[in-house]
Structure 1
Amino acid sequence: MKKTNWFLLVLMLTLTFGQTAFANDNLPDKGIFDLWNYQEVIDVKLTFDLDEVFNDRRGEEDYPAEINFKDETGTKQDWQIKISTRGNFRRQKCNETPPLKLNFKKGDLRAAGLADFDDFKLVTHCIDDYQAAKELLLKEYLTYRMFNQLTDISYRVQLVNITYEDSQTGKRKKQMGFLIEDTAQLRARIGADKIEELRIVEQEKYELEYTRLVGMFQYLIGNTDWGITHSKNIKYVEKDQKVLPVPYDFDFAGLVDAPYLLMASRFGQTSRFDRVYLGFEQQENELGEAIEMLQAHKEDMYRTVQNMKMLKRSSREEMIAYLDTYFENAEGIRFTENWY
């Protein structure tokens, strides 16, 4: 790749992908996510009937719960909400604490002077070893934060130390997790509209520069558990009559290296280091701007990993080493033919 003036490139790409190009001038009112999102990790207590909820593997019922936390001013917040189990893979595989969806009452939010963004995913990991589960969760959290470094068109996330309290017995258990921003707030934040249903559409209907960035980021992190046209771990929104495929759910990425990671043999993958590009464009010269975007933000992404002191040093070093294997061969992209 030719030498590049990285300062000018970062400035140009920020205008293309960042807040200036895609933000909404009329930002939405503060939502409850903003009450959480003031420091790296906050303490949250969830009180509900643990046996009733955690034994529900179908995820078809909503259950009453209470959530308690302190906001930035130290004021205690108590909310009556509904919860349900979520996540097809993790809901079935988690023996004790499957991931949850938290649903606030819109009327309660409005009464508190908050925007009515009410629907949040709580991500947890459920392997038996507590420390290993924490490491895995932090690596997926950092993957979200890395994508935040590249573009505002991305889900914000908030780390939480969770205390589950059984409403029947008073017994408690603790776990780390992270909350994902409500899609409605993401849309409001970037000035996008909801897409009720997306059928397979022509590439030209997508915002292609953003779509290429998504594809290259997934390539960087070694993720094959996604798909643009078949709604695999993608949420679609629309801005200026163009489709934006916003990615989520990165636990199957090679960067995260979950113990349940499966190789995508249909793409010839035999190890997590076998990256495969699964975006639209299958010519490297069409991806130049997205590739340069990753290069321009390389140090930002590395710093995000290195600053996560809750993650063991060895795990941080492994993540950096994995990213190095991309940047050392950034022009050797491996394509697959017409997979989409």
Structure 2
Amino acid sequence: MSKQITFGLMALLAAAGVPAAFGDVPLFASQEPLEFRLEVPIKALRKADKETWFLGKLSHAGTDFDVEFRARGKFRLDLCRMPPLWVKFDKQQVKGTVFKGQRRLKLVPFCRDTDKYEEYVVLEYLVYRIYNLITPESYQVRPAQVVYVETKDGKATEPRFSVLLEHKRLLNKRLGFETIDVERIGPTDQNPVTASLLEMFSFMIGNTDWSAIRGPEGENCCHNVHLFAPKGAGVAEGTVVPVAYDFDQTGFVNPSYSEVNEDLGIRTVKTRLYRGWCRDPAFQEQTYANFNAQRGAIEQLVSSQPGLSEKTRAKAMKWVGGFYEVINDPKSRAKRIDKKCRGKRK
């Protein structure tokens, strides 16, 4: 398939807001908050290494699921009372339930048990949903209201907004992809359409905590980005599809614990910095058109999302509006994007 045809197809899918072909994966077919109760050894999880699994229970709609948990993440693992989790299901138990087809799920819980920290999770959920509007080549999410119970003493939280994330295995199945596991890739290996969308999306949300070409020292690619390619395509010019995740350290969320790499020349996540590569102007123009086509849907998403104070909602709307002011003003676009892009246009 030519780049032009792929480009047009992607633009049409994104402009139509097509989320996915869910098939036999009911969990992500709805955005109604899923209510459940988790019995989890919170204190033990925080002390153990990330390879240790703990037994627990997930209760939903009158059914108890035997599940296993382990902590994940880096920054939030050290910071939070409740770390991000992997949840592993028994594949026999989930048959005929909303969790049908799930084996492992990422769960983004509250970091600390306060309303302020709960809002951070709501905002991060909105980032994923905005990404879904921009491109189907993004992780699907499902909001949840979860009661967390410490198995040691039975102490329970109030229901807290949390987010369930699609597993790589299911993204591959949904899009006909396979996971790419390499030490690093070059910018020309990336699908220019998807890469351009990711780079502009990162600028939109104020995300600099990512890399789509290499990982941290001693690790494979990438940093807060997973790599995929159409089945059988491997790594070749234009085949690799980067998909970003982990969006708490962004200007859109703007958590009180945020940190930035000051080597980038910024001191706060509230400063947008374009970190994309210099692309063919035709790709960039289509990328701008894609974002403009979704502006109404994005603003509606933010303005109607429950769980935000009016002050927080107003800040989020202003942040979105600031992005559109840049991309729709030629002078601002030249200064903030064209002059900041990495590499030279060919």
TM score, norm. by length of structure 2: 0.82
State which of 33, 44, 64 in structure 1 corresponds to 2:55: 64
Flag as ranges the 4+ runs of structure 1 deviating above 6 A. Answer: 18-24, 111-114
Q: Which residue is 2:310 aligned to?
A: 313
Q: Which residue is 1:29 aligned to?
A: 24
- Residues 220-243 of structure 1: per-residue CA shift (max 9 Å, x gap): 111000111121101111116221
State how far apart, in whole Å, the 2-side matches of 1:280 and 1:16 are: 24
Q: Which residue is 1:169 aligned to?
A: 153
- Residues 86-142 of structure 1: per-residue CA shift (max 9 Å, x gap): 111111111x222211011334446879764311111124246x1111111111111
Give the direction of change, closer, same or farther, for the CA distance of 1:21–1:302 in structure 2 (3 Å limit).
closer
Percent identity between the two aligned chains: 23
Q: Which residue is 2:134 aligned to?
A: 150
State which of 292, 297, 316 in structure 2 corresponds to 1:295: 292
- Residues 317-337 of structure 1: per-residue CA shift (max 9 Å, x gap): 101111211211212433154
1:202 has 2:197 as partner: no
1:218 has 2:202 as partner: yes
State how far apart, in whole Å, the 1-side matches of 2:271 and 2:291 are: 19
State how far apart, in whole Å, the 1-side matches of 2:264 and 2:97 are: 50
Q: Which residue is 2:229 aligned to?
A: 238
Letter in 1 for 2:320: L
- Residues 252-283 of structure 1: per-residue CA shift (max 9 Å, x gap): 11111111222332222244443222223267
User: Cα offset for 1:338?
Assistant: 4.9
Give the direction of change, closer, same or farther, for the CA distance of 1:20–1:308 in structure 2 (3 Å limit).
closer
Give the direction of change, closer, same or farther, for the CA distance of 1:310–1:16 in structure 2 (3 Å limit).
closer
State how far apart, in whole Å, the 1-side matches of 2:275 and 2:25 are: 36
Q: Which residue is 1:184 aligned to?
A: 169
Across the two proteins, how many residue pairs are aligned to each other? 315
8 Å contact kept, 2:118–2:161: yes
State how far apart, in whole Å, the 2-side matches of 1:238 and 1:299 are: 31
8 Å contact kept, 2:17–2:132: no
Higher mean C-alpha displacement, 155-164 vs 329-338: 329-338
**SS state at 2:226 partner:** strand
- Residues 159-216 of structure 1: per-residue CA shift (max 9 Å, x gap): 2221122334332223331111111111111111222x22323333321101100100
State which of 115, 120, 129 in structure 2 corresponds to 1:136: 120
Runs of at least 5 residues in structure 2 that lack an aligned partner in the other structure = 1-7, 215-221, 234-238, 328-332
* Root-mean-square deviation over aligned CA pairs: 2.8
Q: Which residue is 1:38 aligned to?
A: 30
TM score, norm. by length of structure 1: 0.83
Q: Which residue is 2:144 aligned to?
A: 160
State how far apart, in whole Å, the 2-side matches of 1:113 and 1:157 are: 14
8 Å contact kept, 2:15–2:294: no
Give the direction of change, closer, same or farther, for the CA distance of 1:112–1:124 in structure 2 (3 Å limit).
closer
Letter in 2 for 1:183: K
Q: Which residue is 1:6 aligned to?
A: none
Letter in 2 for 1:64: L
